[in-house]
Structure 1
Amino acid sequence: MKINAFGVEEWLNIHEREAKYDLAQSTVKSFSMNELNQLTNSKDLYSDLDKQKMNYGWIEGSPEFKEEVSKLYKNVAPENVLQTNGATGANLLAIYSLIEPGDHVISAYPSYQQLYDIPESLGAEVSYWELKEENGWYPDIDELRKLIKKNTKMICLNNANNPTGTIIDRDYLMKIVEIAKEIDAYILVDEVYLPFDSSVKYSPIIDLYEKGISINSLSKTYSIPGIRIGWTATNSELADIFRKYRDYTMICAGVFNDQIATIVLKNRDKILQRNSNLVKANLDIYKEWVKETPDVSCVFPAEVSTSFIKFEKIKDTKTFCEKLLQDTGVLLVPGEAFDEPGFARLGYCTDPETLKIGLKKLSDYLLKY
């Protein structure tokens, strides 16, 4: 099996520890254990952790975890939730379980690289459903119809899109569902970025389509990437298929991780309120910076934690981002990691002070670059 280097992860693996002002991450400001403990008022958190035996724990995730995840959807039973190693593990599991040589897969592009390179590595033919800046990074349903084939087995999406932050709303998703139904295709949607904009008509794909595969994790919207907990939410038939393949890829996520994940989900209202406030305030800072900074533009995200900034006069953004980091300590992800030179992923949902300093250093550097 041959597969391309994972552009985003390769870049971050090399550079993220060098950053003084990390504007590359697409996580809403991560919690420390102390912050999480204070916010959730989990008085027995540490004593409960002390009592945990270091066995394998629950293979598919604890009953409490599965029950809490099932509450995020309309009709997903707890037994149809499978815990994974982050959303990356969930995406891999779903694609590995369903895609074979000779299948046809359609993937939004740009998007998270797993969604097109893993199917191709398994011998599938992959067609790119291209998102274009001039269309607000929004997919064109007529283009999807042109890409559909009789052997199209899966349509892969990010919603919100990584890196652009664009949201496909419920009504538009239903148009995609109707097309998928015509050829009985699965729709896999990586849903790790929840929009905080209440005006957006958002829906998980599993709530709209029997053959939908909802992928999620606690890494982005819920600010706990360090515990590496994700999941698949599907119908019972797909859950049984995934179980078989899952046995070959992981046993369990770890007893500490599961316990923290369950606390987070039980307190999701508090966590989402904290994160909504931060995202909205930081987005205002970011919009004002773009307005005042020459030669940059952005199709702003729908209050999700990733964005794709355009540098109007810079084409080699990889070299620019390398020099920016070296000279200022500011870290971005160059657009080349998404095959989109001239852009960069800018994660604006860090703490406000880091954002303000990082943006100031970025604009000063642009003036003299």
Structure 2
Amino acid sequence: MKITEFGVESWLNQWEKAAKYDISQSTIDSMTMTELLTMTGDDASLLYNQLSHTKLNYGWIEGSPEFKAEVSHLYDHVQPNQILQTNGATGANYLALYSLIEPGDHVISEYPSYQQLYDIPRSLGAEVDLWHIHEADSWYPDIEELKQLLRPNTKMICLNNANNPTGTLLNRTFLQQVVDLAKTVGAYILIDEVYQPLNETDHFTSIVDLYDRGIATNSLSKTYSFPGIRIGWTAANAEVSDLFRKYRDYTMICGGVWNDILAVYILRHKDQVMARNRKLVLNNLSIFKNWVASEPRVSVVLPQAVSTSCIKLDIPESTEAFCLRLLKETGVLLVPGERFDLPGHARLGYCTDEATLKKGLSKLSDFLRQFD
């Protein structure tokens, strides 16, 4: 099996620890356990006592009943037995693709988006058609193009909602159009849903609540601010979930006993986590929006209060070369658009802490002045 290098991950693996002002990430400012427990107001000794007295065996292989119940509550029509715990959303995406895609299958993938969604199907021997997003249309793909790409043997349509790196959210009306087309050929729709809007949340609809052959993947890494927990999940109909169980045994045994306990705790306090993150995202989005308005060499299709954005840079060199010089000379880290097949652009993670965001944007503006 051959696979292309994972562009964004290889960039971050090499450079993120060298950054002084990391404004590249797509996580909403991650929290410590102390910050979480201070926010919830709970007696920290109770949680730490539970952790210290829990035997570190394999635990619940598919995720504890408490975990499955908490995750199922995030959806309108999903039962706990339809939830499978995974190693982050990357593990969830891999499980879904590994379970369903075979050599010769036809897959349609939103492009650019999270690279797993098109390069893993290719590596499994599928024929992949790319469904392009368009900056002029607020980074939406064209439903007419999907009609042209769709075949009688299309096995799966892969989407990232909201999109990484652009932050564009596909609304329910658009998703229903995708579902209606998928139904005509019986295709699955796999959507990586790790980026969810923190304003006007009624605009977001999970594919698993919209379509019986819809598969939702998610995790605690982005919207919930806990990438270090490394816990994600799949949500699908009962038949598909049973299929996943067989393949899951070959890719993952368990998520870890402590990780499961912490995941349950976070999900049980999700309202407090979301309130904290909503305030942070909306505040930082305002800072980011004002900065773009004042920066003549930057433009952007603003994200809908999700944690990733894609700026367009008016500069006379490749964005990869620019981003590398920016890091080495100022300590500011972006992800160059080349890592998403979007040259001339860069992923800017505006949902870091406010001080880092302001300093990073200031230094980025200073660095851009060399081209004036």
TM-score (ref. length: structure 1): 0.99
SS of alignment partner, residue 131 of structure 1: strand
1:183-204 deviation digits (Å, cap 9, x = unpaired)? 0000000000110121762100
Aligned match of 2:360: 358
Q: 1:137 aligns with which of 139, 142, 152?
A: 139
Q: For the Cα contact (< 8 Å) 1:110–1:339, is it kept in 2?
A: yes
In 1, the alpha carbon distance for the partners of 2:160 and 2:210 equals: 16
Report the CA distance between 1:314 and its aligned residue.
4.1
Quick one: which amino acid aligns to residue 229 of structure 1?
I
In 2, the alpha carbon distance for the partners of 1:184 and 1:41 equals: 48
In 2, the alpha carbon distance for the partners of 1:195 and 1:343 equals: 22
Quick one: which amino acid aligns to residue 281 of structure 2?
V
In 2, the alpha carbon distance for the partners of 1:224 and 1:74 equals: 24
Aligned match of 1:61: 63
Counterparts of 1:145-294 in structure 2, within 5 Å, are 145-198=147-200, 201-294=203-296
Aligned match of 2:345: 343
In 1, the alpha carbon distance for the partners of 2:316 and 2:250 equals: 45
Aligned match of 1:37: 37
Aligned match of 1:324: 326
Aligned match of 2:22: 22
Quick one: which amino acid aligns to residue 263 of structure 2?
A
1:281-331 deviation digits (Å, cap 9, x = unpaired)? 000000000000111100000000000000023451101000000000000
In 2, the alpha carbon distance for the partners of 1:96 and 1:83 equals: 16
In 2, the alpha carbon distance for the partners of 1:196 and 1:217 equals: 16
Quick one: which amino acid aligns to residue 197 of structure 1?
N
Q: For the Cα contact (< 8 Å) 1:37–1:45, is it kept in 2?
A: no
In 2, the alpha carbon distance for the partners of 1:202 and 1:222 equals: 16
In 2, the alpha carbon distance for the partners of 1:339 and 1:361 equals: 25
In 2, the alpha carbon distance for the partners of 1:42 and 1:91 equals: 34
Quick one: which amino acid aligns to residue 241 of structure 2?
A
1:20-77 deviation digits (Å, cap 9, x = unpaired)? 0000110000001100111123321111111111101110000000000000001111
Quick one: which amino acid aligns to residue 12 of structure 1?
L
2:304 corresponds to 1:299: no
In 2, the alpha carbon distance for the partners of 1:192 and 1:135 equals: 22
Structure 2: state its 5+ residue gaps. none
Quick one: which amino acid aligns to residue 76 of structure 1?
V
Q: 1:368 aligns with which of 348, 367, 370?
A: 370
RMSD: 0.8
In 1, the alpha carbon distance for the partners of 2:326 and 2:6 equals: 22
In 1, the alpha carbon distance for the partners of 2:12 and 2:28 equals: 17
Residue identity over aligned pairs, in percent, reads 62
Aligned match of 2:106: 104
Quick one: which amino acid aligns to residue 345 of structure 2?
F
Moved more, 32-41 or 318-327: 32-41
SS of alignment partner, residue 357 of structure 1: helix
2:9 corresponds to 1:9: yes
Quick one: which amino acid aligns to residue 34 of structure 1?
T
Moved more, 256-265 or 314-323: 314-323
1:202-224 deviation digits (Å, cap 9, x = unpaired)? 10000000000000000000000
In 1, the alpha carbon distance for the partners of 2:211 and 2:49 equals: 42
**What is the count of residue pairs matched by the alignment?**
369
Q: For the Cα contact (< 8 Å) 1:59–1:251, is it kept in 2?
A: yes
In 2, the alpha carbon distance for the partners of 1:207 and 1:199 equals: 15
Quick one: which amino acid aligns to residue 10 of structure 1?
S
Report the CA distance between 1:143 and its aligned residue.
0.6
In 1, the alpha carbon distance for the partners of 2:230 and 2:339 equals: 22
SS of alignment partner, residue 66 of structure 1: helix
Quick one: which amino acid aligns to residue 21 of structure 2?
Y
SS of alignment partner, residue 156 of structure 2: strand
